[in-house]
């Protein structure tokens, strides 16, 4: 299995805002007749959140985890001008161009650890993924997991790769054991970490990581008034992932130690 290019759709109808969190995603319809949860480049963390969503979601997909299809979603210049809410209108105007959409799972419900089950192998895979991509947002308070057709689905990886909000310390972050994994909603169920660790570290390699990083559109890499080139930014993401993979034993041990520590 190799990473594949994402489809590109044109957004034709804004349906409703989804007011979970501060990024103000929305339900929208595209010209392929499907509905998507749109993540906007004009929202709080801008294109960095879209990059995290793209990389996190596509790494998860490559590893065989259930993630809704991701698409590049284009907003044209006139989109949203008739929107009555000024905050949303501003968001749409600042988001002209290429955004990101997740296929809408109609009728899905939020995963509740007290009610819904998750087998040990899947839980271990999700915990390993989130430790690898440094995802701070899969906790009991905000699981970012859905139940759809009686199956568990992963959504919302925009809080991953948090190193890129400060940027200067990316090498140190790549070597981090990620202590925040102690708050992961599925950690108590993740009893097969060593099995998953062996599978995923064999499956991932630098060729795969390079292909995944190359999915990032150049349009999302125009940062810091041009002080850092798109090529340099892509290289940092690639190096971050490569270093993290080479030192995966660090976060494996962290997850194992966290599971032994009483809450």
Whether residue 248 sits in one domain with residue 127: yes
Q: What integer is the mean pLDDT of 1-5?
A: 57
Count of structural domains, the chain: 2
Q: How confident is the model at residue 172 (pLDDT cuts 50, 70, 90)?
A: very high
Residue 120 sits in the same domain as residue 82: no
Nearest CA-CA partner of 17 in 37, 47, 35, 44: 37
The model's pLDDT over 179-226, given as tens digits with 9 standing for 90+, comes to: 999 999 999 999 999 999 999 999 999 999 999 999 999 999 988 666
Residue 97 lies in a domain: yes
Residue 3 pLDDT class (50, 70, 90 cuts) = low
29 is a domain residue = yes
pLDDT in the model for residue 22: 59
Does some domain include residue 33?
yes
Among the candidates 74, 103, 132, a domain finishes at 103
Q: Does residue 1 lie within any of the structural domains? A: no
pLDDT reading at 241 higher than 70: yes
Q: Are 132 and 95 in the same domain?
A: no
Q: Is residue 203 part of a domain?
A: yes
Q: Among 103, 130, 155, give the residue marking a domain's end.
A: 103
pLDDT value for 16? 87
Q: Could you report the per-residue pLDDT of 12-31, keeping only the tens digit for each?
A: 998 888 866 556 899 999 99
**Residue that finishes a domain, picked among 82, 103, 124:** 103
Residue ranges of E strands in the chain: 8-17, 26-30, 35-39, 70-75, 97-103, 109-110, 145-148, 151-154
Is 166 a domain residue? yes
Q: CB–CB of 130/181 below 8 Å?
A: yes
What are residue 35's DSSP bridge partners?
A: 29
Per-residue pLDDT tens over the stretch 155-167: 999 999 999 988 8
Alpha carbon distance 174, 163 (integer Å): 8
Please, which pLDDT band fits residue 1 given cuts at 50, 70 and 90? very low
Q: How confident is the model at residue 122 (pLDDT cuts 50, 70, 90)?
A: very high
Domain containing residue 34: 8-103
State the average pLDDT over residues 29-54. 93
């Amino acid at each position: 299995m190799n990473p594949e290019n994402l489809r590109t759709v044109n957004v034709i109808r804004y349906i409703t805002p989804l007011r979970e969190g501060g990024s103000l995603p929305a339900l929208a319809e595209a010209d392929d007749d499907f509905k998507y949860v749109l993540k906007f480049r004009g929202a709080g963390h801008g294109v960095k959140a879209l990059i995290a969503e793209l990389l996190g979601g596509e790494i998860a997909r490559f590893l065989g985890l259930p993630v809704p299809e991701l698409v590049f979603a284009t907003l044209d210049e006139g989109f949203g001008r008739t929107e009555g809410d000024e905050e949303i209108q501003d968001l749409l105007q600042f988001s002209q161009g290429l955004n990101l959409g997740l296929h809408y799972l109609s009728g899905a419900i939020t995963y509740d650890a007290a009610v819904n089950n998750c087998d040990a192998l899947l839980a271990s895979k999700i915990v390993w993924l989130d430790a690898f991509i440094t995802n701070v947002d899969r906790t009991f308070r905000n699981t970012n997991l859905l139940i759809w057709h009686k199956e568990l689905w992963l959504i919302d990886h925009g809080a991953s790769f948090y190193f890129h909000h400060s940027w200067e310390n990316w090498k140190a972050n790549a070597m981090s054991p990620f202590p925040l994994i102690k708050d992961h909603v599925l950690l108590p169920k993740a009893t097969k970490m060593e099995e998953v660790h062996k599978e995923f570290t064999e499956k991932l390699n630098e060729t795969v990581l390079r292909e995944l990083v190359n999915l990032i559109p150049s349009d999302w890499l125009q940062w810091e008034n041009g002080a850092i080139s798109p090529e340099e930014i892509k290289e940092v993401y690639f190096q971050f992932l490569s270093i993290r993979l080479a030192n995966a034993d660090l976060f494996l041990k962290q997850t194992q130690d966290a599971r032994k520590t009483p809450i």
